[in-house]
Every structure is written in structure tokens, then in C-alpha cells.
Structure 1
Amino acid sequence: MTGTEYAELVAFMAVASERSFRRAAQRLGLSPSALSHTIRALETRLGARLLNRTTRSVAPTEAGQQLFARLQPVLGEMDAAVREVGAHQDTPRGTVRVNLPRIAAQWVVGPILADFLAAYPGVRVDLVVDDSITDVVAGGFDAGIRSGELVQQDMVAIRLTPDLRMAVVGAPAYLARHPAPQAPLQLREHACLTYRWRESGTLQRWRFSGPAGASEVAVDSVFTANDTNLLLDAALRGAGLAYLLDGLVAPYLGRGELVRVLEPWCPPFAGFYLYYPNRTHMPAALRAFVDVLKSSYADR
């Protein structure tokens, strides 16, 4: 069915229900003459008279009554579907899918999740914990949370946290057997625990910055995993040195379960950002999620 054919049927339904060209024209935002022309075009196309009209009244013919009865539930369902979509734009409801690393789930979303769900009972939040770098559009996600260095430029990005830092850490038992490195190049003499990106299979680069500028060290990775908690656990058990976000290891540093090394060589970098595609008509559920995160972290 073409757009013109659909418009003709809508015009007919308006006239048949209003029993008036004038009222139907007002309802559709048309002039009575334009509406009359549309009805004549429909009758010509169908080869049947659909409306009996005089100067005083309008009423469906038998063919018109049959067409009206068949179309009424169909167009009613279509109107309901359109209203339902519109309601998603006005009232927060539905599911918000967010892709984010484990640490962001714990630090950023976890603290506000209960209050958000209580404030918006019609919204469901689907968090997909993913420490790799995922294309949120291709993956069917509404939004993502990543370090600002990893957010593509064509995304709308909102800063949530202060700058982050990496930390090279090891258990006291490991460092009792292996003297702590005093410079990044000395990492080559150590057993290292390294994150492996799931999609590309490449190892995370151990990046440092010192008096001579930025540098990378090709470490001896005795253990690799695509899960930061596994690397953390291995470091706690004395398997080697790990390169992890300082926020993740901070509690263990405070309790003396881990020791930080090479701290002067680990400068800050861009913190966590919420990002999403630039949408002219953002779903109300996503808008609510964005607004809550923005207000929760505005002063940090």
C-alpha cells in the first residue's frame, strides 16, 4: 500500500465516523475541498461509491459500511501502536542496555542503581559487563561507559569521574622473592599478569611516563586473562605483578595485601565517561538514566 492509498483510507474513516466533511477536515487538518477530492479519488480507485452525501448530511453506503467495519480495528491497532511508541518518548519505561567494564559497574552504576530503579519503576536496566572495547551501536546497546580515551568522537560523551590511574601491584610474598622494580624496563625481569583483549586477542600495553616521556614495556606475561578479577586474584596469590586500575586495587593496598610499585611512572588519564549515539529522539528511559548519572556525578 502506498502512502497516498493509506491517506485515502484514513480520510474515508474520518468522514464516515464524523458524518461530516467539515468536521473530518478539521480533524485531519485539511480543507473540505481537498478532503472531498481525496474521497473521490478513493472511490474511483475502488470502483465503488462509499459515501452518500447531500448538502445536509453524509452517510456510508453499504460498501462504505463494510469497508469501515473492516478498517476500524486495523487502524485502531495502528493508532495504539503509534501511541505506545510515543509513550516511550514521554514516560520512562522499557529497558536500558549499557555496556561497561566491571570496575565501572561497581564504581559508577552500582551506587545509583537502587535509587534509579525505585524512582523509575517502569524501567529495566540491563548491564553487560565487558572489559573489552565493544561497539555499542553494533552490539545493540543504548549506551556505554568507558575511559574518555576510548570513546569515539562521533558519540555524545558525558564525564562521570575524575581522571584515573593505572597501578603496578604485587603481593608482599612475591616482592619478597623478587626485588621491586625501580624503573619500567626492570619489569622484563618479573613475572607479569596481563589483560588480553577478547575481540582482538592482543595484550594490554603497559604504558608509563617518566622524565624521558611516554613509553611502553613489553613484559613477560606468565598469565593472561580477559577478566580483571582473575588478574587481581592471581596478584593477591603472589603469581606476579599486575597492571590494574588503582581504584580496583586501592582496598588491597590499604590492607597491605598488595604493594604498589613504579607509582611515579603511572600518570593519570581520562576518567570514565557515559556515551551514546547522537539521537534526535532519545527514549525517555535512556534520558532518565543519563540524567541520573549526570546529577549523581556532577560535582566529582
Structure 2
Amino acid sequence: MRATELSELAAFAAVARHKSFRKAGEERAVTASAISHAVQNLEARIGLRLLNRTTRSVSLTEAGELLKSHLDPAFMEITSALDALNQYRDTPFGKVRINVPNSIAPFVLGRVIGPLLTKNPNLELEVVATDRLVDIVEEGFDAGIRLGYRVTDGMVAVKIRPRLRLVVVGSPSYFEHRPIPTEPSDLANHLCIRNLFPSGAQYPWEFEKDGQSYVHSPVGPLSLDDHELMMQAAVAGVALAYVWQNRVDQQVADGTLVQVLDDWCQPEDFLYLYYPSRRHMSAGFRAVIDAMKTD
């Protein structure tokens, strides 16, 4: 098989995986038009249509589905064969793509990236941080990170560090005019930043202590989906914020922010790195897992 034919098959496999020429191009670091041209050449060479194209969607024909079913295991075998060569290298080689929620990315990966890449100089780590829900298989990620052991069938979950918790903070200037809350119910008398999911839906502030739980629906002049902005708004004295503790540790330490209701703010569920159970475990991916998992 010529290199051009293999490249065309790889381009088709990427489109079949993503159902998108643009995303396939991003995966293969070429333009969408280059991917489209490669697939067209493949279709012309074999004399069959593999993809149904419209201005809004891409789908596989019956022939395309059959070809994909054979290519997926074949490319997995090729990947496995190339990765087996790592035994002849000092360190793992290749790219690992990870999806992680933007709000926690610095705390999860900040301490990992430097030592991981220093120890494995031939490893390429690509991190996409977004708080939207992502299908890691469809979008070509090797793994994703999320809170809690809630993964779909066919996924493996590995517990990773650190364990996070959400806390309530306000500025000294804010508390000059309002009493510090000592119970979650006191928040009814405070301005609070409303936390939003990327979808725009609001999520409540949740508290627990000695078996008692309390849920507060924030009321205030500001709604945000970014914890950095929440922290900055709290520093400015706009309202109280409900943010990851790691994001405000420095501000609390230097007195820029005051942390309240500490005994009501319990640790969140553990973080997990999850990936398809059928995924080939490359040496590079194994190095990433080892760097992130709990002891």
C-alpha cells in the first residue's frame, strides 16, 4: 500500500470518527479542505461513496460503515505496534489528548505537567479545558477528567488527585456592611454570585455538616460560569462567591478574601480520569495516568 493510500484511509477514519471534516482536520493537523480532498480521492479510487455530505452534517454510507469497522481495529494494531517500539527508547513517545473542566484544570494538571514532560521529553500532551460536556470518543480525546465515579458503559475510571471542595468567600469591604454568616441559612440575607453551567443553567450552593444538609439558591446582581471571574468579583466586594478553594487560597491567606462557613463546606467527590476500556494503553498514556492517579 502506498503512503498516499494510507493517508487517505487515515483521513476517512478521522472523519468517520468525528462526523466532521473540520474536527478531523484538527486531529490530523491539516485543513478541512485537505481532509475532504483525501476522502474524495479515496472514494474515486475505490469507486464507492463512503460519506453522505450536507451543508450541516456528515454521515457514513453502508460502505463507509463497513470500511470503518475494518479500519478501526487495523489502526489500533498499527498504534500498538508503534508504541511497542517504546521499549527501545528511554522515554515514551507520542501525543496524548486530554479533556478537563476549565474550572479545575489548573489544580489538576498544574502540578503534573512540568514533572511529566521533564521526565518524558518525547511525550506531547494536548489539553483542552472546557466546562461543556464533551464526548471524548467522538472528539478524539484519549481521556477526560470529571468529578465523581459516573461514567458510561465501556469506560474505565481511575481516581486522581487532588480532592477539591467548594467554599464561600467575600471581601473585607463586603463584610464591613454585612454580618459574617455562621449558618448556610444566613445566606438568604446576602448578595451571592449565581453559579452557571456552560448551558446557562444555574446550580445551587450545597452544604453539609454533622449529617445535616442545606441547599441555597443564590440571589444577587451577577451570574457567572467562570470561577476566576467569581473570585475577582468577590475581591471587588460585589457579592459572596462559591468557588473552588484552591482558586482562592492565596487571597484568603493574604486577607484579600475572607472564607466563611468553613465547617459546612465538605470535600467534593473524588476526581476521576476516564477513558474507553477498548482504548490501546500506550506507554505515553500510561505515563500520564501514573503521574495523576492517587497513591
TM category, shorter: 0.5 to 0.7
| 1:227-285 deviation line (CA, Å, top 9, x unaligned) | 11111111111110011122221111111111111222212222322222213522332
In the alignment, which residue of structure 2 is the partner of 1:100?
Answer: 100
Measured after TM superposition, the shift of residue 85 of structure 1 is 5.7
C-alpha distance in 1 between matches for 2:237 and 2:149 = 31
In the alignment, which residue of structure 2 is the partner of 1:175?
Answer: 175
Measured after TM superposition, the shift of residue 212 of structure 1 is 6.6
Tell me, yes or no, if structure 1 residue 87 matches structure 2 residue 82: yes
The number of residue pairs the alignment matches comes to 217
| 1:118-154 deviation line (CA, Å, top 9, x unaligned) | 3333321111112344332333221122222555575
1:213–1:162 distance in 2 versus 1, CA, 3 Å: same
CA contact (8 A) 2:103 2:226 kept: no
1:85–1:157 distance in 2 versus 1, CA, 3 Å: closer
Normalising by structure 1, what TM-score?
Answer: 0.64
C-alpha distance in 2 between matches for 1:90 and 1:270 = 38
Normalising by structure 2, what TM-score?
Answer: 0.65
What are the within-5 Å matches in structure 2 for residues 238-277 of structure 1? 238-277=237-276
CA contact (8 A) 1:90 1:284 kept: no
Structure 2 counterpart of 1:285, one-letter code: G
C-alpha distance in 1 between matches for 2:162 and 2:110 = 17
1:162–1:123 distance in 2 versus 1, CA, 3 Å: closer
What are the within-5 Å matches in structure 2 for residues 211-222 of structure 1? 213-222=212-221
Structure 2 counterpart of 1:216, one-letter code: V
1:238–1:229 distance in 2 versus 1, CA, 3 Å: same
Which is greater in Rg? 1
In the alignment, which residue of structure 2 is the partner of 1:130?
Answer: 130
What are the within-5 Å matches in structure 2 for residues 112-261 of structure 1? 112-148=112-148, 151-152=151-152, 155-161=155-161, 163-198=163-198, 200-210=199-209, 213-261=212-260
C-alpha distance in 1 between matches for 2:128 and 2:212 = 36
1:80–1:286 distance in 2 versus 1, CA, 3 Å: closer
Structure 1 counterpart of 2:175, one-letter code: L
C-alpha distance in 2 between matches for 1:262 and 1:147 = 22
Structure 2 counterpart of 1:138, one-letter code: E
C-alpha distance in 1 between matches for 2:103 and 2:84 = 31
Determine what percentage of the aligned residue pairs are the same residue: 35
Measured after TM superposition, the shift of residue 166 of structure 1 is 1.5
C-alpha distance in 2 between matches for 1:263 and 1:145 = 26
